[in-house]
Amino acid sequence: MSDSTHRGVCRYCGAPAESNGLCGRCRAGERSDFFSVMGLPRRLDIDLQALESIYHRLSRDVHPDFHYHKPADEREEWLKRSASVNQAYRTLRDFHARVAYLVELEGGGAVKPQAPPELLEDVIEVQDLLEESRRGGAEGRALADRLQAERERLLDQLARLESDLKRRAQEWDGLLGAETERSPSQRQILRALQDLLSQRVYLLNLIRDLEAVPSSVA
Amino acid sequence: MARIVGIDLGTTNSLIAYMDSTEPRVIADPAGGRLVPSVVSISNDGRIEVGEAAKRKLVTDPEHTIYSIKRFMGKGWDDVRHEAALFPYRIASPPENRVSSEHTDVVRVLAGGKGWTPPEISALILQELKRRADAFFGEPITQAVITVPAYFNDTQRQATKDAGRLAGLDVLRIVNEPTAASLAYGLQKSKQGVIAVYDLGGGTFDISILKLKDGIFEVLATNGNTHLGGDDFDRRLVALIFEEIKQQFGVDLHDVPEVMQRVRIAAEAAKCHLSAVELAGIEVRLDADRCYTRTITRMEFEDLIRDLVETSLGPCRQAQADAGLQGGQVDEIVLVGGSTRIPLVRRMVERHFGRTPHGEVNPEEVVALGAAIQADILAGGIRDMLLLDVNPLSLGIETVGGIMSVLIPRNTTIPTSAKETFTTSVDGQSAVVIHVLQGERELVKDNRSLARFELRGVDPMPAGLPRVEVTFLIDANGILKVSASELRSGKSQSIEVKPSYGLTESQIEQMLADSFKHAKSDLEQRALIEAKNEAAEILHATDKALQRGRQLLEPHEIERIEAAVGELRAAMEGTDRQAVRRKKAQLDEATRHLAEALMDASLHEAMQDKHVSKFLPQD
């Protein structure tokens, strides 16, 4: 398999490739991370056109349709490889999924909803609005205005978050070298990315809550 | 190179095709007939006829002539009991169906003195197709690719494979009909861009949106309605005719199988006529003396079916949204299935997509031609085309609180796999139950249960310590395999998900319709469960912190915390999410000093003992 083995040895672990072109030791592709599966460095700026070309090329190599007449255990192997290429593409083509994946891959743990500290007042305001709308507050007009204003504030906040994410992603790419050991500033960026993503999820939930307010009121 | 044929096993008609050196061709019978009507007639003495010969018996011998068997593939009696009465042939009710304990649920058609399962009837149709191909090639064919509606579930796919095996065919691949159609269309045109395949057949509707680029056919999204097709249009017209018969002659004749079939066939013929001309005649002989006649205009017919055609647009909108297209824009529309010959269908599709549908491919043959292309790919012939299909419905497992945790969302490219790690909730627990689900709703109870299995022999450990990794693997046929292993002990178990009779048609529809209708209340319920889970966490943390830090607080502070704990517990009994959140926030506030005091204390302690390993729960 041209992308995990090269000149008869595995690209990832250096073991001699097996006759089917797969690495028998590290099972490259199946086990390795999505960036390696696609043959890419762990950069967050990915050209989507190029990624699609890589995806198509790999699919032509690994898809089970092209290995139909192989023995059953080899077919099973290609099935898993194909599944891993599909997953890698699905994850890497989406910016937020890509960042979340990188953070986790670098040992940062999963992204969980987390309130941005500067948003405390907005959280309380949204709760109030929801409560008032539930009680069917008489001042429907004023409520609608407040909902609108709050929604705009949250969307502003989301836009700020997104640009912070982009900036941090660029910083990560700028510091990325060949070494696998991460410097303190790189670890700091990863933590920042994780926080930003966590806050984004929280913010999206909040906006969703707000949009769930009965439309007769909003 | 082995010869592999492509088969479109349709609700109304079936076809078989092969790959000539450069293009796919339908194999005709010696008389030049290309379609095999999906009709089987089984007489009382066991004589079997298939295709045109059987179709002629629909009127003369309706009780022994089986049509639209595809509707029953992969179904159980409970799934079809409401529909069974609409067919003149007999479907066994459970007491008649106690053949063996394991098969009691499978639908059986009673004919020629025995009960036939839908795969057996379908196998008779497949054998007829195989005979054509055997004669054409002068040698028996043994391998085939068979198409199914994109919305077919695991069981229906499995039933189709079974039918192939019963007919003496090794089914190498199950392919979705709209995607097969796109292969035939794309080969012909070597197109690039985004296409929508609108497939309205005799019994089912599928919509698929694909991106074609450099020979790769990537399905972006698929959706559908497994209970919408030409049969439903016929039924509207049939109902009208019986209504008028009742008015004119004062008799209700829809219980008489012969009359039922004559009316159905007259209605179907009128429908087909109206695709070409503006006015059609309907004539039905009721008995020796009486005959019902009327004419129907295209407009009258369109008024009868307009709402049915409209229901196909909902799935189109959903697929466009899922495909993530800018403005839902597609470059081309490909029409598949006999029902797309109806002018109203064409007009509504054109208006919806803002594009004139493609009319060059024969909508009745394009699926079989695509199956032949896929067959050639598997045979190692075509190397430059590749189909990347998706799973139509989300797959997941049950987690705490009765929530479905989705592991593979709908419209994920297959093959694919997903892993998730779970743990135990009770000390010393030695078995973990994995409950596999399919559907689009938030809560377990609203989705279809596909399988339930138990991972036994987990070494007894404190709760939360075992790590059970569950892996879902979907192959290129869309068939799911689930395995689970306990990472600490390495114990693993694997199952092929083969439910006795998977999701029913109406269940899939109901589930989809409900997922849109109930989206809000689902979210609400899920949010409530999540809020309660969070609340349970903070109660636990508070409890621990109080044990450690009680002496650091003033009595009134302890009182305040205990009051807040009581109020939160009370709120958790109810269903008001906002209340749970509010009380949780209050408890947060009440325990702030406690948390700070403990932090100080542990810092102090750490400095004294040079221990920095002690930390407290964050909440």
At B375, the pLDDT band (50, 70, 90 cuts) reads: very high
**CB atoms B386 and A60 under 8 Å:** yes
- Residue-level pLDDT at A4: 47
Q: What percent of chain A has pLDDT over 70?
A: 80
Q: Active site includes B70?
A: yes
Pairing mode, if any, of strands B491-496 and B432-438?
A: unpaired
> 3-class secondary structure for B224-285?
EECCCCHHHHHHHHHHHHHHHHHHHHCCCCCCCHHHHHHHHHHHHHHHHHCCCCCEEEEEEE
pLDDT of residue B500: 39
pLDDT category, B508, cuts 50, 70, 90? Answer: very low
Pairing, β B109-111 against β B4-9: unpaired
Q: Residue B382 has what pLDDT?
A: 84
| B548, B598 Cβ separation under 8 angstroms | yes
Name chain A contacts of B415, Cβ cutoff 8 Å.
64, 79-80, 82-83, 86
Q: What is the pLDDT of residue A218?
A: 40
pTM: 0.77
Handedness of CA A173, A175, A179, A183 (dihedral sign): negative
Predicted local distance difference test score (pLDDT) of residue B1:
54
Cβ-Cβ pairs closer than 8 A, A with B, add up to 68
Q: How far apart are CA B357 and CA B298, in angstroms?
A: 20
Please give the pLDDT value at position B548: 81
Alpha helices in B274-331 (DSSP H): 298-311, 313-322
Q: Is the pLDDT of residue B510 over 70?
A: no
Q: Given A66, A68, A90, which is nearest B413 (Cβ)?
A: A90
ipTM: 0.77
B600 is catalytic: no
The residues near B508 (Cβ < 8 Å, ≥ 6 apart) are B151, B153, B226, B393, B448
Whether B191 sits among the annotated catalytic residues: the reply is: no
For residue B515, give the nearest of B390, B434, B404 by alpha carbon: B404
Question: Which is the catalytic residue, given B79, B128, B177, B446?
Answer: B177
Q: Quick one: tokens of B97?
A: 């169906």
Interatomic CA distance for residues B29 and B53, integer angstroms: 13
What are φ and ψ of residue B95, in 5° steps? -60, -30
pLDDT at A156: 92
| Per-residue pLDDT tens over the stretch B548-563 | 888 888 888 889 999 9
More confident residue, B166 or B372: B372
What digits encode the pLDDT tens for the residues B215-266?
999 999 999 988 899 999 999 999 999 999 999 999 988 888 889 889 999 9
Nearest CA in chain A to B220: A90
User: Which residues fall within 8 angstroms of residue B52, CB to CB, at 6 or more apart?
Assistant: B33, B36, B37
Q: Which residue has the higher pLDDT, A144 or B87?
A: B87
Give the nearest partner residue to A90 out of B412, B415, B524, using CB atoms.
B412
How remote is the C-alpha of B462 from its chain's centroid?
40
pLDDT by residue (tens digit) across B127-148?
999 999 999 999 999 999 999 9
